[in-house]
């Protein structure tokens, strides 16, 4: 995903693209959450490995939430942040319920295990126009195989401990005057652009750019523009 940024940034940056736990080639133990302490250790390792005191962050979707968590925990180490259709800009009650409570995790796991039952219900809701068709396609695409359902369960629960404290996060952004540029899709039904508007309230260093796109923002038509936000 981030390979396209290299030709726009390679003269000014060393680019490190990290596979989050349960994704790509990262090997992570089943049932073990990726905690804030793990994240702090990872950032300190990268800073030491490349001999620098600060890093710039760019994150898409759930990766944006990871960037926000780093900014809250280690603001003195963050030079600037670019977020693309970012998760974590607001608190999602249902995500917290499904991933941070015992009953919620049971319901979440049960619904993925027996997803065929719930897909029938979603199909009815779609025909009745009670659910957005884009959201319906997004759900179907991400749970239509056993492998995908397992990945969703692992990622959602395994990264559930990375939930920024927005009050503390905003205090740190203002204290360190961290430049943050947020790119959101005007037609995004997964993470609405309004989340970024609410997040930016009271933050003078945040710039919001809305594009006429959905949730899949990073593509060849706008990679250069997004990359230039780090220059």
pLDDT tens, 1-46? 788 788 888 888 898 999 989 888 888 888 888 999 999 999 999 9
Q: How confident is the model at residue 93 (pLDDT cuts 50, 70, 90)?
A: confident
Region 40-58 average pLDDT: 95
Q: What is the 3-state secondary structure (H, E, C) of 163-213?
A: CCCHHHHHHHHHHHCCCEEEEEECCCCCCCCHHHHHHHCCCCCEEEEEECC
Q: What are the residues whose beta carbons fall under 8 Å from the beta carbon of 3, sequence distance 6 or more?
A: 17
Rounded Cα distance, 204 and 170, in Å: 10
pLDDT of residue 200: 95
Q: Return residue ranges of the chain for CATH 3.40.50.1820.
A: 3-91+163-228
Residue 225 tokens, joined: 């523009």
Cα distances (Å, whole numbers) of residue 104 to 40, 94, 219: 27, 9, 35
pLDDT in tens, 127-180: 777 677 776 777 777 777 888 888 888 888 888 899 999 999 999 999 999 999
Q: What is the mean pLDDT of the chain?
A: 88
Angle, alpha carbons 16-48-35 (nearest 5°): 70
Computed over its alpha carbons, how large is the radius of gyration of the chain?
18
Q: Does residue 190 register a pLDDT over 90?
A: no
pLDDT of residue 49: 96
Residue 69 tokens, joined: 């968590």
Nearest Cα residue to 191 out of 78, 65, 100: 65
Q: How confident is the model at residue 115 (pLDDT cuts 50, 70, 90)?
A: confident
Q: How confident is the model at residue 57 (pLDDT cuts 50, 70, 90)?
A: very high
Q: Does residue 90 register a pLDDT over 90?
A: yes
Q: Which residue has the higher pLDDT, 124 or 214?
A: 214
Region 97-109 average pLDDT: 83
CATH of domain 3-91+163-228: 3.40.50.1820
Rounded Cα distance, 110 and 143, in Å: 13
pLDDT of residue 55: 95
pLDDT of residue 138: 72
CB-facing half-sphere around the CA of 207: CA atoms within 13 A: 10
Cα distances (Å, whole numbers) of residue 106 to 55, 61, 100, 114: 38, 25, 11, 12
């Amino acid at each position: 995903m981030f390979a396209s940024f290299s030709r726009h940034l390679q003269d000014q940056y060393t680019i490190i693209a990290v596979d989050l736990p349960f994704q790509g080639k990262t090997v992570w133990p089943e049932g073990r959450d990726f905690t804030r302490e793990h994240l702090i250790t990872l950032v300190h390792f990268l800073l030491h490995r490349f001999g620098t005191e600060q890093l710039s962050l760019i994150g898409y979707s759930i990766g944006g939430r990871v960037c926000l968590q780093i900014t809250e925990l280690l603001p003195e180490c963050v030079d600037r942040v670019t977020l693309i259709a970012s998760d974590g800009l607001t608190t999602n009650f249902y995500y917290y319920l499904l991933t941070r409570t015992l009953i919620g995790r049971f319901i979440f796991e049960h619904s993925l295990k027996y997803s065929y039952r719930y897909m029938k219900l979603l199909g009815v809701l779609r025909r009745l126009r009670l659910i957005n068709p884009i959201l319906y396609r997004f759900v179907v695409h991400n749970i239509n195989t056993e492998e995908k359902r397992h990945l969703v369960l692992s990622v959602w629960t395994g990264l559930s401990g990375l939930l920024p404290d927005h009050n503390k996060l905003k205090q740190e952004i203002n204290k360190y005057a961290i430049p943050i540029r947020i790119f959101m899709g005007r037609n995004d039904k997964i993470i609405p652009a309004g989340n970024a508007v609410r997040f930016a309230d009271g933050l003078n260093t945040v710039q919001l750019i809305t594009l006429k796109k959905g949730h899949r923002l990073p593509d060849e038509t706008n990679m250069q523009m997004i990359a230039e936000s780090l220059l």
